[in-house]
Structure 1
Amino acid sequence: MPAVLIAATVLTGLATGVFALYSHTLMPAFRQTDDRTFVAAFQAVDRAIINPWFMITFLGAPVAIAAAGFLRPGVLIWSAFALYLAVVVITVAVHLPLNDALKAAGDPAVIDVAAVRVAFRERRWLLWNHVRLAASGTAFVLLTVALTGS
């Protein structure tokens, strides 16, 4: 059982790190760019993040948390699961549609990048990223406490 809880904790921590990187580095850096650079850079990052390492982390975390919860039922683990489930819902409901629309807009060299950037709604994307960072970060802390028995 400890191995499953360790895996859940590590995967949740890794996912939290990705959300944190967007909040404190990527989106502030993108905000300082011109429209063409913003669209091109975000499209490239969004294409690159869909890879086995990230998908195992992002989707493996709730599976591992649930497995840990079944093996060692407790309010900490199931609270962490609920929080991480909120992260998945936010990602599917907010981030994926915005990301997909930006990618589908086409080549930044030939589209109206200013209109595409406005339609992307950066502030909304970032606000909800902060929410998923808080939720996943709290889940990570709860799992850490469950792991250490504190």
Structure 2
Amino acid sequence: MFALRVTALIAATMTTGLMAGVFGLYQHTVMTGLGRTGDRTFIGAFQAIDRAIINPWFMLSFLGALLFTAVSAFLNPGRQILPWVLAALVLYIVVFAITIAVNVPMNDALKAAGDPGRIPDPAAVRAAFDEARWVAWNLVRTLATTAAFGCLCWALVARGKLG
């Protein structure tokens, strides 16, 4: 049982850390770079990135962070670890909800605009997308996932002290 507890906690920490990295890179690199492009380039590049990110590696991390953290909370009921794992779980549930309720619908709406080369008014499509809103919610995801990662790191430290 010890090996399963530790494995779940390590998997939760790793997948949550990967997601913190993904959201962080979008925040300070991807969206910053795209923000400096023209409307057609922004739309086309964002559509291409959004299609590319839906892959097994991303989904393993995105869904795995939620699943492994929940499993870790279930398997590690001790007072030294459980509060940190539960805090990480709550934070990641917030991230998951924001992603499903805000970012994914915005991404889908931009993809539904179609081929950027055929959009008569790309500036209107980009304005309707509302980059500032997407970036603001992504900042919340970045901060919450980073905090969840920190909680899980501390849970590993606490786990190590227990032996």
TM-score relative to the length of structure 1: 0.98
Distance, in Å, in 2 between the alignment partners of 1:4 and 1:95 is 28
Alpha-carbon deviation of 1:148? 1.2
2:150 counterpart residue number: 141
* Aligned counterpart, 1:87: 95
> Distance between the aligned counterparts of 2:64 and 2:25, measured in 1?
19
The residue number in structure 2 matching 1:4 is: 8
Given candidates 112, 120, 135, the residue that maps to 2:129 is 120
Q: Which residue of 1 aligns with 2:140?
A: 131
Measure, in 2, the Cα distance between the counterparts of 1:115 and 1:46: 20
> For residue 67 of structure 2, what is the amino acid of its counterpart?
V
Cα deviation code 1:119-141 (max 9, x no counterpart) = 10000000000001010000000
* Alignment partners' CA distance in 2, 1:94 and 1:144: 28
**Matched position secondary structure for 2:118:** coil
Matched, 1:22 2:26: yes
One-letter amino acid of the counterpart of residue 119, structure 1: A
Question: Using the alignment, how far apart are the partners of 1:68 and 1:116 within structure 2?
Answer: 43
CA distance in 2, matches of 1:113, 1:147: 48
- In the alignment, which of 54, 64, 67 is matched to residue 50 of structure 1? 54
**Corresponding residue of 2:37:** 33
What is the alpha-carbon distance in structure 1 between the residues aligned to residue 132 and residue 101 of structure 2? 15
Alignment partners' CA distance in 1, 2:106 and 2:113:
11
Aligned-partner residue type, residue 136 of structure 2: L
Q: Mind listing any 5+ residue stretches in structure 2 that lack a counterpart?
A: none
CA displacement, residues 83-133 of structure 1 (integer Å, 9 cap, x when unaligned): 000000000111011000000100000112111100100000000000010
Say which one has the larger Rg: 2
- Partner of 1:5, secondary structure, is helix
SS at match of 1:109: helix
Gap regions ≥5 residues in structure 1: none
Partner letter of residue 40 of structure 2?
Answer: R
Specify the alignment match of 2:83 in structure 1.
Answer: 75
